[in-house]
Amino acid sequence: MKRRVSDGYPLIQDESKASQRVSSIPPLINRGTYWAMFKWTWRQYHPMEDIAWLKQMFRQELDLRPPSLAKIGENSILMHDESGIPIAHAALSNRWGNFEINSVVVDPNHRGRGLTHKLLKQCGGESLFSYTRDVRLQSTLLKAGFERRLYPGLLPLLNIGISRIAMLFWMMFTLEFRRIFHQFRHLLNYKLFIRP
């Protein structure tokens, strides 16, 4: 029986040949195996203890994003102590050519050991900026070569505005009114530091 197969495949003379060709294709990974592999790779690179620690740090610091948005991604730097417990974290966001350091967290038991300096060194050599009202972080940024500025540039400012509005709606949706009130109350105290 002759029939034409679309997409440029040749004519098939015999149905048995077609079934043989289809049966020779290796089977696809089933959904259960895929999710098991995904969970294994996720836990391998982002253990749940690290994310739980990060959420706890975000709960304590009202100046940072809400804990529900805590994540460890490709633009995150996470430092562990000798026993594998997380002690410091920094997250970068691409702001159209510049990178914003939008969260720096150091465990209170490990502060004063230069971990923020190490995090900043690992952030790379690209153009970085950070808004902060934390005096310790401001001092560290100045020592690391950052300069105090009033304006990051038009494109980064637009990007920051869009992301902050989205974060505000998310905080309202998740009922983070204490965090919203805290950040609005201190809005004029945030200072911009840029590393040219």
Q: What is the pLDDT of residues 139-191, one digit of tens each?
A: 999 998 899 998 888 888 888 889 889 999 999 999 999 999 999 999 989 99
Write the CB contacts of 176 (distance below 8 Å, at least 6 apart in sequence). Answer: 66
For residue 166, give the nearest of 74, 93, 88, 75 by alpha carbon.
Answer: 93
* Burial status of residue 92 (CB atoms within 10 A of its CB: 0-12, 13-18, 19 or more): buried
Question: Does 129 reside within a domain?
Answer: yes
Asked if residue 8 is part of any domain, the answer here is: no
Look-up of token digits 């417990």: 85
| Count of domains for the chain | 1
What is the domain range of residue 178? 43-195
Q: What is the CATH number of the domain that holds 118?
A: 3.40.630.30
Question: How much is the pLDDT for 95?
Answer: 82
Asked if the structure places residue 158 within a domain, the reply is yes
Q: Quick one: pLDDT at residue 44?
A: 47
- The type of residue at 54 is L
Helix (H, G, I), strand (E, B) or coil at 52: helix
Does the residue 85 lie in any domain? yes
Q: pLDDT band for position 19 (50/70/90)?
A: very low
Rounded CA gap, 62 and 96, in Å?
26
Specify the higher pLDDT residue, 96 or 7.
Answer: 96
Residue 21, domain member (yes or no): no
Closest CA to 85 of 122, 50, 42: 50
125 lies in a domain? yes
15 within a domain of the structure (yes/no): no
- Closest C-alpha among 34, 99, 64, 42 to residue 176: 64
Place of tokens 């902060």: 132
CB 153 within 8 A of CB 99: no
| Strand (E) or helix (H) holding 155 | helix 154-173
Q: Residue 30 and residue 48: Cα distance in Å, rounded?
A: 25
**Is 30 among the domain residues?**
no
